[in-house]
Amino acid sequence: MIPTIERHRSVRNFEPGRPIPDSLMTELLAAAARASTVGNMQLYSIVVASAGSPVFDALGPCHFNQPAAVSAGALVTFCADVHRFSLWCRQRGAEPGYDNLQWFMNAAIDALLASQNFSLEAEANGLGICYLGTTTYNAGDIVRILRLPEGVVPVATVAVGYSAEPLPGLTDRLPLEAVVHKDTYRDYTPERIDEMWAAREASEETAQLLRENDLPNLARIFTERRYTKGDNLHFSRAYLEVLRGQGMFEFDVNE
């Protein structure tokens, strides 16, 4: 396996404020730009905020000031972007039609493939990374802070920097058969579900979480502590509003 892929683990504590040299950052961004992109349209933009800048500080609360966000050397926001391409079209007398959900998806795919190249290249150069899932939660604030015009929507942020501690062990994953299907989707029996999660549920890490949370099983930690239905629906509505506000959702919605 490509060593960098095999060794990936997320870093959540960086040496606070240790900057990433400009030449190295340029290398990471160049790797991002080599990723596949629909029709070679490059429907993404990457916004780099380095530790110490006012924009970096303003982004912290969008990511709930989690340690990975505030200690990073840079917060790199990957955005779906049909704006730049549409400007070019109009300037050439061509009428673009990319202000819709389908092209938000195309552009989001472009942005995410670029982000993964960026992350792997960072890790290959001795840096650590952490994807911040909070980007889609608080996308409206990020739009304002980064001054994103219509046609541009944030989809993922990579916190990148120098790990403050030795890298942890690899994260456990479900058995490969649990996520792979041959030809058609093979639905899960209750027995398979039990088997797939058995190792994780039996771990000492899980036992400690259950004690800390005073809950009887790991699933309820996910649904009652980490990602509650109420929060999920709140952030879902907020992201739809961002899509509409940025002109990427062409339907009327009754809420």
Q: Which residues inside 73-92 make contact with its own copies, applying CB under 8 A?
A: 81, 84-85, 87-89, 91-92
- 45 - beta bridge partners? 79
Q: Which residues contact 139 (CB under 8 A, 6 or more apart)?
A: 153, 154, 238, 239, 242
Rounded to a whole number of angstroms, the minimum distance from the CB of residue 58 to its own copies is 10
Instruction: Examine residue 5 and tell whether it contacts its own copies (CB under 8 A).
Output: yes
Residue closer to its own copies (CB basis): 2 or 202: 2
Six token digits for residue 179:
């996520």
Site for its own copies in 9-48 (CB under 8 A): 10, 26-27, 29-31, 33-36, 38-42, 44-48
- CA–CA gap between residue 50 and residue 135 (Å, rounded): 17
- Write the binding mask 153 to 172 for its own copies: x where contact by CB under 8 A, - elsewhere: --xx-------------xxx
3-state secondary structure 89-122: HHHCCCCCCCCCHHHHHHHHHHHHHHHHHHHHHH
Among 64, 165, 168, 174, binds its own copies (CB under 8 A): 174
- Inter-CA distances, 139 with 142, 164, 222, 252, Å: 5, 28, 22, 20
Rounded to a whole number of angstroms, the minimum distance from the CB of residue 37 to its own copies is 8
Give the sign of the dihedral formed by CA 111, CA 127, CA 167, CA 51: negative
Residue closer to its own copies (CB basis): 179 or 202: 179
Among 126, 184, 202, 214, binds its own copies (CB under 8 A): 184
- Write the binding mask 89 to 128 for its own copies: x where contact by CB under 8 A, - elsewhere: x-xxxxxxxx-xxxx-xx-xx--xx-xxx-xxx--x----
Residue closer to its own copies (CB basis): 21 or 133: 133
Instruction: Examine residue 72 and tell whether it contacts its own copies (CB under 8 A).
Output: no
Rounded to a whole number of angstroms, the minimum distance from the CB of residue 176 to its own copies is 6
Site for its own copies in 216-255 (CB under 8 A): 216-220, 222-224, 226-230, 232-233, 235-237, 239-240, 250-255
Q: Which residues contact 7 (CB under 8 A, 6 or more apart)?
A: 123, 167, 170
Q: Which residues contact 242 (CB under 8 A, 6 or more apart)?
A: 139, 140, 143, 153
What is the helix (H) or strand (E) element at residue 192, kind and residue range? helix 190-201
Instruction: Examine residue 210 and tell whether it contacts its own copies (CB under 8 A).
Output: no
Within 10 angstroms of residue 213's Cβ, the number of other Cβ atoms is 14
